[in-house]
């Protein structure tokens, strides 16, 4: 008896310890805090030519052999478009049901521009596309899940690319405004969270400096492309993206916000940087790297100016905002979306020699994952993605301080397993590394919140394994494993972990009650 009692108490204490000492508790976040999963149209929808959708730039890009690691594309992807349509027939694997099972209260997804306006500005609004997203939104709300909608997550109607070069042409500002207007009008009564663009910094850096993403523009030494100029085009494209965002925000604030009562922001890819060496030059390099990555887009949309750290290096290569632009930029966004995965070291290249001729467009910094051969954190299957949980707290504090604690959402955070296998093997499902990653990053987020950071939500990338851009289907980010042949979804350990975390306070309370009960018995 005595032995049993001791064992029981030890077991209960262990469970308690697991929950309390870990410093991670759903109860620490307000009940209004959004906890969700994140996806994007091109990565999950499939049905790339159905419902009168037109081709996007990513449809065209992936169809050219050699562009994607496994020569795959998003033609079918997770077939979300069809599986969702099967909801009405009681299809059990339906994706909204998966989220409902997780117990999330929000879902971040993106609208495919070419489903809504197949011909960009030219041509009519596609009613099939409007119906698809309306039903999706209705189904989410029915399950108590808030739609958190991104207007543009990389995919642009190819027509705009062909007609005038998409982001390289100021015309796109007006067209993006028109597209946003159509969406606010069609969905705004039900959608309370709008994000204009996803990771414009990645779109510009990979599309116009290194040339790895469409439209594959670049010049040497940054990359090897058929056309483009890495010293000029990125600043033009960024300028148009910033003003396209401002156009959409102005339309929302003037025509819809009062009536619809929602909020609007932008989501930025936000890596953290640590100085490689403990010297002032590398600390300055960290500031430059952050400015060239994050403030490049956030300073203009919040302060109406490019960051001084960039102006100092690039001077007149950076465009200027006209008085009309400034007027548009006065409409402030309501929140900043932060996509954070990893951190790197940076080394100064102004005062120190660097390999590879690091120049203006890369802020005169060299970034690396290692210091003296030791990685900044455990490497993952995604190249350049290391596990460095402290980066979450640090990037939030940087953004909080630079932008006066504007409300923030962690719009993406997640962990990839590299695998081409469709089999939901034990190894694939027993994703303890992902659980550790999420646990570490969420704990770090909690530390930032305790210091006063106004963070209002956290979204895991991703609900499902999906089309991971240049990596195709070789990198799996999902809480649910997907067999891309049968489209079967299987929950991973991380899905169960997230569900338990979301049930948090109740679980801990229940355990406390059990403990009390056991104490009274023995
Ligand atoms: C697609 O558009 C054509 C006209 O361009 C129309 O005839 C057809 O019915 C539409 N398809 C659907 C599914 O609505
Ligand atoms: C899952 O992985 C952990 C460690 O990686 C291991 O201890 C555990 O036994 C595994 N569980 C199953 C069911 O394979």
- Please write the tens of the pLDDT for every residue from 371-403: 999 999 999 999 999 999 999 999 999 999 999
> What integer pLDDT is reported at residue 122 of this predicted model?
76
Is 360 in the active site?
no
The distance from CA 424 to its chain's CA centroid, rounded to whole angstroms, is 25
- Check the CA dihedral 296-299-302-303 and report its sign: negative
pTM: 0.92
- Which protein residue has the closest C-alpha to ligand 2 atom 7? 432
> Does the pLDDT value for residue 8 go beyond 90?
no
Q: Does residue 518 carry a pLDDT above 90? A: no
Cα 52 to averaged position of ligand 1 atoms, centre (Å): 6
Locate 462 and state its tokens.
């991703």
Cβ atoms 365, 344 nearer than 8 A = no
What is the set of domains in the chain, with CATH numbers? 33-521 (3.20.20.80)
CA of 127 to the centre of ligand 1 (A): 9
Among this protein's residues, is 199 annotated catalytic? yes
d(CA 309, CA 303): 14
**In the prediction, which pLDDT does 514 show?**
56
Band the pLDDT of 21: cuts 50, 70, 90.
Answer: very low
Task: Kindly state the average pLDDT of the residues 414-422.
Answer: 95
CB atoms within 10 A of CB 88: 10
Per the prediction, the chain carries an average pLDDT of 92
CA distances from 141 to 6, 172, 410, 431 (A): 48, 32, 21, 30
Pick the atom of ligand 2 nearest to 433's CA.
Answer: 5
Residue 519 confidence (pLDDT)? 60
Question: For residue range 321-344, what is the model confidence (pLDDT) as tens digits?
Answer: 999 999 999 998 999 999 999 999
Ligand 2: which residues within 6 Å by Cβ?
426, 430, 432
Please write the tens of the pLDDT for every residue from 237-265: 999 999 999 999 999 999 999 999 999 99
> What is the pLDDT, as a whole number, of residue 20?
42
Q: Please report the DSSP string for 219-246 in residue order.
A: -TTT---SB--TTTHHHHHHHHHHHHHH
Distance CA 205, CA 213 (A): 9
């Amino acid at each position: 008896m005595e032995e049993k009692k001791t064992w029981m108490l030890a077991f209960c204490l262990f469970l308690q310890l697991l929950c309390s000492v870990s410093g991670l508790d759903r109860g620490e976040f307000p009940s209004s805090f959004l906890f969700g999963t994140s996806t994007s149209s091109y990565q999950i929808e499939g049905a790339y030519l159905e419902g009168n959708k037109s081709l996007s730039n990513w449809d065209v890009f992936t169809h050219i052999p050699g562009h994607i690691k496994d020569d795959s594309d998003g033609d079918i992807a997770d077939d979300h478009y069809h599986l969702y349509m099967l909801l009405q027939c009681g299809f059990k694997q339906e994706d909204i049901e998966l989220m409902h099972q997780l117990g999330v209260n929000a879902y971040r997804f993106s609208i495919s521009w070419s489903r809504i306006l197949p011909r960009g500005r030219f041509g009519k609004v596609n009613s099939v596309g409007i119906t698809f997203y309306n039903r999706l939104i209705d189904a989410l709300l029915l399950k108590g899940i808030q739609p958190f909608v991104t207007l543009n997550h990389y995919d642009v109607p190819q027509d705009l690319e062909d007609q005038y070069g998409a982001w390289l042409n100021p015309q796109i500002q007006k067209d993006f405004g028109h597209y946003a207007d159509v969406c606010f009008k069609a969905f705004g009564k039900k959608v309370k969270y709008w994000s204009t663009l996803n990771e414009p910094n990645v779109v510009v850096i990979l599309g116009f400096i290194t040339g790895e993403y469409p439209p594959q523009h670049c010049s040497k030494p940054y990359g090897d492309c058929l056309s483009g100029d890495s010293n000029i085009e990125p600043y033009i494209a960024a300028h148009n993206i910033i003003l396209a965002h401002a156009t959409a925000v102005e339309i929302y604030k003037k025509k819809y916000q009062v009536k619809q009562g929602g909020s609007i922001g932008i989501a930025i890819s936000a890596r953290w940087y640590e100085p490689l060496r403990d010297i002032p030059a590398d600390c300055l390099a960290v500031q430059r790297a952050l400015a060239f990555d994050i403030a490049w887009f956030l300073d203009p949309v919040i302060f109406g100016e490019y960051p001084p750290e960039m102006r100092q290096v690039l001077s007149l290569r950076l465009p200027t905002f006209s008085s009309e632009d400034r007027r548009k930029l006065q409409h402030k966004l309501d929140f900043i979306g932060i996509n954070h995965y990893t951190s790197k070291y940076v080394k100064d290249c102004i005062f120190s020699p660097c390999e590879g001729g690091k120049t203006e467009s890369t802020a005169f910094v060299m970034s690396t994952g290692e210091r003296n051969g030791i990685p900044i954190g455990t490497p993952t299957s995604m190249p350049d993605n290391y596990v460095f949980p402290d980066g979450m707290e640090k990037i939030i504090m940087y953004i909080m301080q630079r932008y006066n604690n504007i409300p923030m959402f962690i719009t993406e955070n997640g962990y990839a397993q590299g695998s081409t296998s469709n089999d939901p093997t034990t190894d694939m499902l027993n994703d303890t590394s992902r659980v550790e990653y999420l646990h570490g990053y969420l704990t770090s987020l909690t530390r930032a919140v305790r210091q006063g950071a106004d963070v209002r939500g956290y979204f895991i990338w991703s609900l499902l394994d999906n089309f991971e851009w240049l990596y195709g289907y070789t990198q799996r980010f999902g809480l649910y494993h997907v067999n891309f042949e049968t489209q079967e979804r299987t929950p991973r350990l991380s899905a169960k972990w997230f569900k338990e975390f979301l049930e948090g306070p109740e679980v801990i309370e229940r355990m406390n009650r059990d403990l009390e009960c056991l104490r009274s018995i023995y």
